[in-house]
Amino acid sequence: MATDSSMVDPLAEGEPAPPVAAPGDRRRLSKWRLYSRRFARNRPAVAGVVIFVLLVAFALLGPLFARYDHVELDFLALSDPPSPEHWFGTNNAGNDLYAMVVVGLQRSLLIAVVVATGTTILSAVIGTAAAYFGGRVERVSLFVIHFLMVAPTFLLLAMMSNDSGGDWRVIALVLILVSWFFQARTIWTLSLSLREREFVHAARYMGVPGMRIVLRHLIPNIGSLLVINFTLGVVGAVMAETGLSFLGFGVKLPDVSLGSLIGIGSSSISSAPWMFYFPAAALTLLTVSMALVADGLRDALDPTSAAGGRA
């Protein structure tokens, strides 16, 4: 995965242009323009962005076009296949599947973003702080991380979320608690070398307090890793939430998520296949698009990647 070199800003070590324009000087590319140019060169990643944006638009704007509310029952159409009336069909109780997919997507996205944000922040702070402070802080953090890595967290997760009664906020919290430590460990390893960088020493010798150094110097310098982690975190959270809901430990009716919809749909896949296919398609598009974006980001931010050197 990410090595130390992937954190190097490709322009920071490269040929610096003196600010005073000498003849023959050209304005250097800004870092962000360079990144976006490299990202834009990656077709699949751009496709990923497009799909993702469309999905988000669908989740946000979809309700505007819905003819039914997702809890509303249409007794005239039970287990109907897709039709002009019910675009995605209905389930055996008469719920409009289009409305349910829109709401489910909203819920899944919300959980994913909250979980990815929480995981990224938690892992960044704990990973860098453990590396910077060393000593007891490091030992305790690593103990917790290693313990969680071997503990049967999925069981824990299932039990805890089962007690929650299907409240998505509890599920998000539980998902954060069981997923931060993998990233925290990677960040810890990376930060060990960052800790020895001279600018960190410089700050320490200026008397800057430790936590300030962590927040001002360490975390910003693993920024690109965090961006990638966040994107991958979204994929992971969507999958985890889907898995839980599919098994019945996650979001419970009347609330729906893509996972719970797939769970219900899969039981009637032979009689009413549309009930499975529509939420499953939304889920696939979501995870695949984010995975493509994560891939593209990694290539764009990592100066050593193959795509980087190409002009």
Partner 1 sequence: MTTPVLSVRDLTVSFPSEAGRVDAVRGVSFDVGQGRTLGIVGESGSGKSVTSLAVMGLLDDNARVGGSVMFEGQELLGRTDAQMSKIRGNGISMIFQDPLTSLTPVFSVGDQIVEALTIHDARLSRRAAWDRAVELLRLVGIPRPQERVKSFPHEFSGGMRQRVVIAIAMANNPRLIIADEPTTALDVTIQAQILDLIKTAQRETGAAVMMITHDMGVVANIADDVIVMYAGRPIEQAPVDTLFADTRMPYSIGLLGAIPRVDKSEKRPLVPIKGSPPLLVDLPDACPFAARCPIVTDACLTAEPELVAVGGHADHRAACVRAEEIRAGRLGDDPVYPVPEVPASTLETVPRELRKPTLEVENLTKTFPLLKGSFRKKKVGEVHAVKGVSFDIREGETMAIVGESGSGKTTTLLQIMDFAAQDDGDIRIVGTSVADLQGGRAERELRRDVQIVFQDPVGSLDPRMTVFDVVAEPLRTVGMPAADVGPRVDELMDLVGLDPAHSDRFPAAFSGGQRQRIGIARALATNPKLVVLDEPVSALDVSVQAGVINLLDELKVRLGLSYLFVAHDLSVVRHIADRVAVMYLGSFVEHGDVDAVFDDPQHPYTEALLSAIPVPDPVVERGREHIVLTGDLPSPTDTITGCAFVSRCPLFQTLDENERVACETKVPALSGRTGVHVNACHHR
Which burial class, exposed, middle or buried, applies to 197 when counting CB atoms under 10 A from its CB (0-12, 13-18, 19+)?
Answer: middle
Binding partner 1 (rule: CB under 8 A), the pick from 4, 13, 69, 163 is: 13
x/- mask, partner 1, residues 182-221, rule CB under 8 A, reads ---------------xxx-xxx-xxxxx------xx--xx
Least gap, CB of 298 to partner 1 (angstroms): 18
Contacting range for partner 1; rule: CB under 8 A; set: 4-12, 255-263, 276-284, 288-296: 4-12
Least gap, CB of 296 to partner 1 (angstroms): 17
Least gap, CB of 38 to partner 1 (angstroms): 8
Say if residues 256 and 191 touch (Cβ distance below 8 Å).
no
- Residue 30 contacts by C-beta under 8 Å, 6 or more apart in sequence? none
Say if residues 6 and 304 touch (Cβ distance below 8 Å).
yes
Residue with tokens 């800004």: 30
Tokens describing residue 23? 């003849």
Closer residue to partner 1 in complex, CB, 19/152:
19
77: left (phi over 0), alpha (psi -120 to 50) or beta: beta
Q: Is the dihedral of CA 83, 85, 91, 96 positive or negative?
A: positive
Q: Is 1 in the site for partner 1 (CB under 8 A)?
A: no
Binding partner 1 (rule: CB under 8 A), the pick from 2, 6, 34, 297 is: 34
- Residue 76 contacts by C-beta under 8 Å, 6 or more apart in sequence? 94
- Residue 43 contacts by C-beta under 8 Å, 6 or more apart in sequence? none
Q: Is 223 in the site for partner 1 (CB under 8 A)?
A: yes
Least gap, CB of 131 to partner 1 (angstroms): 16
Q: Is 136 in the site for partner 1 (CB under 8 A)?
A: no
Closer residue to partner 1 in complex, CB, 169/212:
212
Cα–Cα nearest to 190, from 260, 140, 131, 138: 131
Least gap, CB of 13 to partner 1 (angstroms): 7
How many amino acids of this chain bind partner 1 (CB under 8 A)?
39
Alpha-carbon distances, residue 21 vs 10, 12, 24 (angstroms):
21, 18, 8
Say if residues 225 and 3 touch (Cβ distance below 8 Å).
no
Closer residue to partner 1 in complex, CB, 169/201:
201
Q: What is the SS3 assignment for 73?
A: strand
Binding partner 1 (rule: CB under 8 A), the pick from 16, 84, 135, 165 is: 16
Least gap, CB of 182 to partner 1 (angstroms): 23
Alpha-carbon distances, residue 277 vs 28, 111, 260 (angstroms):
49, 22, 13
Closer residue to partner 1 in complex, CB, 14/254:
14
Q: Is 26 in the site for partner 1 (CB under 8 A)?
A: yes
Measure the CA–CA gap between 55 and 53, rounded to whole angstroms: 5
Tokens describing residue 72? 């509303």
Closer residue to partner 1 in complex, CB, 1/20:
20
Closer residue to partner 1 in complex, CB, 98/230:
230
Closer residue to partner 1 in complex, CB, 10/263:
10
Binding partner 1 (rule: CB under 8 A), the pick from 20, 150, 155, 306 is: 20
Least gap, CB of 120 to partner 1 (angstroms): 17
DSSP lists the bridge partners of residue 90 as 96
Binding region for partner 1 (CB under 8 A): 9, 11-20, 22-26, 28-29, 31, 34, 37, 197-199, 201-203, 205-209, 216-217, 220-221, 223, 309, 311
